[in-house]
Amino acid sequence: MEKAFHYYMPVKILFDYGVSQKMASYIAGENVLIISDPFLYQNGVAQRIGESLIGKTVGYFSDIEPNPSCESVDAAAAAARALKADCVIGLGGGSSMDVAKIVACLTRDEGSIYDYYSGGTKTFSERKTMLICVPTTAGTGSEVTNVGVFTNKKAGIKMPLVTDRFWADYAVIDPELTYSLPPAVTASTGMDAFCHAIEAYWNKESQPMCDMLAMGAMQLILRFIKRAYDDPNDLEARGAMIKASMIAGVAFSQTRTTGIHALSFPLTTEYHASHGTACSITLPAFIRLCREGAAEKLQALSAYLGYADAGALADAVEALMESMGMPTRLGQLGVREENLEHITKVGLGAAIIQLTPAVMNEQTVYALLKGIL
């Protein structure tokens, strides 16, 4: 018997070199707010997109920080309301796109993010403001998910919000926006995308369409990530990587992630590793751990990717990470043995960890971490 599954991914995807300069015809309405981080505003990327929107009134909100706070969301929503925005564009990595998702809702729905999230009691009405996501890294896949992750500074927690209102109208995938990514960011964001794909693939909630997409995305990443790392202007590699990141995003948008992402949370917040580094540092160990629980699937994947077995795949992934100067041992992030118990506990607090195809408890997670200390 085949497993039951659902699939729903209503985002319109546009992929092309330079397509982010050609969005005007897709935008209904007059007033457009472009949400980005300060860097994308200062280097002119946001304005170049704004200037391409001939005939539109364009505003900018460019104060988005990594791990965006609820206060930033409310400030961006105020800007959108002041502009009477008909369309919100999230330009950047996951942070800017996540903020754009909720701001597109808050443009017409009243109140603060706190009213809808983390104890809030309001629910979003049908979203009338258009939402366009434009990634500038090849990693998060946020442009094709219905999830936004926001940080409640008061309570000291980072929490996801999931709603069908967050599916963008358009995901605009333009490899040209990634040419300026530094090699270290190319590496860490690209390996984050690889984690999305493999976590969708071995997920207890895995399903056939996502398996197919995840396998294809992993093949693209293994083929092209080092080329994009070595030569930031390798157009084919840049195109392949941002495409693979989006496709991996489609895959995990249906399944969620697993232990890799669960354990990345404490590594990000407490050791200041980038999200992609915090994920991929446990990737080889998780491949080895899941060899039992997902034996058949990992064998099929390894063969598809050109490796004899999952052990060889894990070795290859680890060597690839080392070749791009990425840490592969927790000690390199400053983690010490006495910290492992706490990291284990925080990781086990994330429900997604139980979607891993392996027993996940204090002993097994501690042992996994100890093995890569």
**Residues forming the site for its own copies (CB under 8 A):** 1-2, 4-17, 19, 175, 207-209, 211-213, 215-216, 220, 235-236, 239-240, 243, 247, 250, 304
119: left (phi over 0), alpha (psi -120 to 50) or beta: left
> Minimal distance in Å, beta carbon 237 to its own copies?
10
What is the Cα–Cα distance from 280 to 16, expressed in whole angstroms? Answer: 28
CA distance 56 to 325: 44
Q: Which helix (H) or strand (E) holds 280?
A: helix 275-280
Angstrom CA distances, 164 to 161, 213, 331, stand at 10, 21, 40
Burial, 125: exposed, middle or buried (Cβ in 10 Å; 0-12, 13-18, 19+)? Answer: exposed
Q: Which is nearer to its own copies, 64 or 172 (CB)?
A: 172
Q: How far is the CB of 129 from its own copies (least distance, A)?
A: 18
What's the CA dihedral at 214, 226, 188, 172 to 10 degrees?
A: -60
The residues near 339 (Cβ < 8 Å, ≥ 6 apart) are none
Closest approach of Cβ 10 to its own copies, in Å?
4
CB of 61 or CB of 307, closer to its own copies: 307
CA separation for the pair 41, 54 (Å, rounded): 19
Q: Rounded to the nearest whole angstrom, what is the least distance from the CB of residue 167 to its own copies in the complex? A: 9
In whole angstroms, the minimum distance from the beta carbon of 6 to its own copies comes to: 6
Nearer to its own copies (CB atom), residue 240 or residue 355: 240
Reference 309, options 298, 293, 320, 317; nearest CA is 298
Considering the complex, what minimum distance in angstroms separates the CB of residue 178 from its own copies?
12
DSSP 308: S
In the structure encoding, which two tokens stand for residue 26, read together? 């897709």
Rank residues 247 and 358 by Cβ distance to its own copies and give the closer one: 247
Rounded to a whole number of angstroms, the minimum distance from the CB of residue 36 to its own copies is 24
Least distance between its own copies and beta carbon 134 (Å): 15
Concatenated DSSP letters for 219-271? HHHHHHHHHHHH-TT-HHHHHHHHHHHHHHHHHHHHH---HHHHHHHHHHHHH
CB of 179 vs its own copies, minimal distance in Å: 13
Identity of the residue, 19 or 40, whose beta carbon is nearer to its own copies in the bound complex: 19
CA gap 260, 267 in Å, rounded: 11
Dig out the tokens for 360 from the structure: 């996940």
Nearer to its own copies, 64 or 294 (CB): 294
Q: Please, which residue, 71 or 174, has the CB nearer to its own copies?
A: 174
Q: Given phi > 0 = left and psi -120 to 50 = alpha, else beta, which region is 335?
A: beta
Pick the closer one to its own copies by CB: 147 or 333: 147
**Are the C-beta atoms of 247 and 217 separated by less than 8 Å?**
yes
Which residue, 5 or 39, is less far from its own copies as judged by CB? Answer: 5
CB of residue 245 vs its own copies: minimum separation in angstroms? Answer: 12
CA atoms within 13 Å, Cβ hemisphere of 287: 23
Is the CB of 84 or the CB of 297 nearer to its own copies? 297
Residues ≥6 apart with Cβ < 8 Å to 370:
337, 340
